[in-house]
Amino acid sequence: MFKRNSFFSKLFLAVLIVTLVAANGIVGFKDGTNLFKPAIAEAATVEKAPKYVFYFIGDGLGAAQRQIAEYFLQEKTGDKSAKLLINQLPVAGINTTYSASSLVTDSAAAGTALATGHKTNNGIISKLPDGTDIKTLVEAAEEKGMATGIATTTRLTHATPAVFASHNESRSNENEIAVDFLDSNVEFFAGGGARHFLPQGWVDDMPSMNGSKRKDNRNLLKEFADKGYKIFYGKEQSDKFRNYKPKGQEKVLATFTLSHLPYEIDRIHDTNNQVPSLAEITKKGIEVLSKYPNGFFFMIEGGRIDHACHTNDAVGAIHDILAFDAAVKEAYKFYKEHPDETLIVVVGDHETGGMGLGFSKNYYLKLNELLDVKASVGDVLAKKYNGDRDAYFKYIAENFGLDNLTEKEKAEIIKAMDLVDKKAEYDVAKYGPSYYNPVAVATTHVISKRANIEWTTFAHSGTSIPMSAVGVGSEKFTGFKDNTEIARTLASIMGVELSK
């Protein structure tokens, strides 16, 4: 049994050595450029490499996000001792996240660092800024003869999953990234994003699969099937995926939605969204990959934590963090069966939203204010206001716990309604980018302020973030590290080589 607060005590110790780390020149400027060059301390290869490696990446998962999800769990269950598994793993550290082009990274550059051990510019997928391809951990594991898997709650072609099995000058080239996957030899793919695998103008018997973003007539799902992959696509095939039992060394490609998988809060509250959870996907990936004799490397991303924080949706983020933690529990069950052969590493790529637990002069958090929220801000609430103010206020009263708005709170939402109705320009610092809905943003800020949560941005922040680990070689991850060191330490433990 893990000791209470073991994660945060270790995190505190890691923070204490930041000054010493800086004094010894871990981060310095490369002359004449804006690139940062960490002095990476190569970890010694462990005597016996782990046979099974799980690499969990929480997109947007900062320290505040880890903590608020745990506090929410305690509030919801009434158990003040309830803990997230990711906060109980015995090894903890803290990581910097800056990219080669900015102190505030995007997911492509952060993912590239975590996948390859190299810094690159924001927006680039597993290439150096000069365009040179760099080897990923998935590619290195495949070279060693290990099976590999990639699972995510986003589109499979989104930045974080893309950096493990693709190389591209831009994360926006998702159709090209999907083609790259054909030659990756990855044995297990699961997530969303079917629109980048289906030919242009695609019309399907399954309503959820009508549509494509491709500009050509290639049906990549068919091409994967021709390569021997078992294909699961559309939410209609969710149960088929759940019931599938691999009989040998089989390959799988599962894309359950055209774009991202639903937020967890929507998945559990809307019967039309019953695609597999990230935990179910992780469990199935283990079933598939464990059939291979030389072990596996399995990257699992909780991608929509980031999306929720972009829209300052505290409850949406919390539910996706809890779903992410449930996925880690599936890997931990496997670890308990193979403790001498398994490594689990849990990281984030960056923090999103600048989430603050407390604001103004208030010394409290009131998480009971979050318990009655039943839908996401980005996918659901953003589409609810159509000019009918009474209907909107009725909806948020029934689904967001806002049945007792104060005059000030209601006035804030009405101000946003006025902007939308008049199609007026608005302050993006207050309401977010133009593709956000000001009414939904004003509403989610009411909920956050009630709970005493504050946000500094609709983008990413440059703060350092926590990581945790357990298993073979996990002790090598402790301390204050750059994100590139995580990938290189992992490669060393696995006995594989990344690009120099």
Active site residue 107: yes
How far is residue 495's CA from residue 481's CA, in Å, rounded to a whole number? 20
The annotation status of 118 as a binding-site residue, yes or no, is no
Query: Residue 386's CB: how many other CB atoms inside 10 A?
Result: 10
The annotation status of 167 as a binding-site residue, yes or no, is no
3-state secondary structure 28-90: EECCCCCCEEECCCCCCCCCCCCCEEEEEEECCCCHHHHHHHHHHHHHHHCCCCCCCHHHCCC
Closest CA to 305 of 378, 373, 383: 378
The annotation status of 306 as a binding-site residue, yes or no, is yes
What is the identity of the amino acid at 319? H
Q: Edge-to-edge, what's the strand order for the sheet holding 342-348?
A: 229-233, 251-255, 188-192, 147-155, 296-302, 52-58, 342-348, 465-471, 91-96, 479-482
Query: Residue 421's CB: how many other CB atoms inside 10 A?
Result: 12
Residue 115, token pair as written in the block: 């996948």
How far is residue 376's CA from residue 194's CA, in Å, rounded to a whole number? 22
Of 81, 99, 101, 107, the catalytic one is 107
The annotation status of 59 as a binding-site residue, yes or no, is yes
Residue 14, token pair as written in the block: 């890691």
Contact 64, 355 (CB under 8 A): yes
Strands 147-155 and 296-302: parallel
The annotation status of 196 as a binding-site residue, yes or no, is no
The annotation status of 158 as a binding-site residue, yes or no, is yes
Phi-psi region of 373 (alpha: psi -120 to 50; beta: other; left: phi over 0): beta
The annotation status of 266 as a binding-site residue, yes or no, is no
H helices within 119-219, ranges in order? 137-144, 159-165, 174-182
In the DSSP assignment, the letter for residue 99 is: -
Residue 231, token pair as written in the block: 């294909």
φ/ψ (deg, to 5) at 195? -60, -20
How far is residue 319's CA from residue 304's CA, in Å, rounded to a whole number? 10
How far is residue 450's CA from residue 443's CA, in Å, rounded to a whole number? 11
**Site of tokens 């996925």:** 327
The annotation status of 106 as a binding-site residue, yes or no, is no
Q: What is the largest CA-CA distance in the chain?
A: 67
DSSP string computed for 203-260? --SSGGG-----SS---HHHHHHHTTEEEEESGGGHHHHHH----SS-EEEEE-SSSS
**Site of tokens 């990923």:** 136
- Residue 333, judged by CB atoms within 10 A of its CB (0-12, 13-18, 19+), counts as exposed
Binding residues for Zn(2+): 59, 306, 310, 349-350, 460
Binding residues: 59, 158, 160, 301, 306, 310, 349-350, 460
Among all residues, which ones are annotated catalytic? 107
Binding residues for Mg(2+): 59, 158, 160, 301
